[in-house]
């Protein structure tokens, strides 16, 4: 029986939410060159996959986190998934903006959350973790107790592990880079010789092809 990590990786590859081009590269917003591009928002356009990921989030939350009061989605990729999870679990939902509004109440956390409540954060993708942890900081500044974060996929960068450890945040992901490569190789999405390129990139992505 396939694990959640294997099934999610397979789904992401099937709908081309993850694209692998070891012989070429994509350019990320950070300026990094990468042989992989991930857009998990595509999962929302496929009802069966969307439901599977929702249920995988719920199962993972129930297995890893107790005394959960509120679900929080990180803008923008985590908002829809977070709302689906909150509906399934019958929990309140809030979302965290990337920056405070420049008008009105200038909120960064949108929705109703009370100081002391236990909040589980839902995210779609983890690279270095900085934007995700910025959302955690905003929730903590609102007086919340962030009990952890679940994301669909992580590139498994060492810097992300360090950042989450330093922030005291328990990160759990539905799938990961290693599982993705295994599934991509098994399904013929990439050739055996391309695996080494993909593994080398992951070790030092900031300097790849420079």
Q: What is the pLDDT of residues 21-63, one digit of tens each?
A: 888 889 998 889 999 999 999 999 999 999 999 999 999 999 9
Average pLDDT over residues 79-96: 98
Question: Residue 99's pLDDT is what?
Answer: 80
pLDDT grade, residue 192 (50/70/90)? Answer: confident
Question: Residue 87's pLDDT is what?
Answer: 98
Arithmetic mean of pLDDT over the chain: 93
Average pLDDT over residues 92-108: 77
Tens of pLDDT along 106-120? 589 999 999 999 999
Question: Residue 103's pLDDT is what?
Answer: 52
Question: Residue 102's pLDDT is what?
Answer: 53
Question: Residue 101's pLDDT is what?
Answer: 58
pLDDT grade, residue 78 (50/70/90)? Answer: very high
Question: Residue 148's pLDDT is what?
Answer: 98
- CA nearest 49: which of 74, 17, 3, 1? 17
What's the pTM? 0.94
pLDDT at 15 over 70: yes
């Amino acid at each position: 029986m396939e694990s959640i990590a294997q099934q999610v990786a397979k789904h992401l590859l099937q709908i081309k939410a993850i694209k692998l081009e070891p012989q070429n590269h994509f350019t990320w917003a950070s300026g990094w060159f990468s042989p992989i591009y991930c857009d998990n928002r595509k999962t929302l356009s496929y009802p069966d996959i969307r439901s599977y990921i929702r249920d995988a989030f719920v199962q993972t939350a129930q297995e890893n986190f107790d005394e959960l009061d509120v679900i929080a989605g990180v803008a923008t990729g985590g908002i829809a998934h977070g709302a689906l999870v909150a509906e399934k679990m019958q929990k309140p939902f809030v979302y965290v903006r990337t920056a405070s509004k420049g008008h009105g109440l200038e909120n960064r956390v949108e929705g109703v959350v009370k100081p002391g409540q236990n909040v589980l954060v839902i995210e779609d993708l983890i690279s270095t973790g900085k934007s995700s942890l910025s959302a955690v900081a905003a929730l903590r500044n609102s007086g919340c107790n962030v009990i952890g974060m679940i994301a669909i996929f992580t590139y498994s960068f060492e810097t992300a592990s360090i950042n989450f450890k330093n922030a005291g945040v328990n990160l759990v992901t539905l799938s990961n880079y290693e599982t993705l490569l295994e599934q991509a190789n098994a399904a013929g999405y990439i050739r055996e010789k391309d695996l080494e390129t993909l593994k080398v990139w992951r070790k030092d992505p900031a300097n790849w092809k420079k």
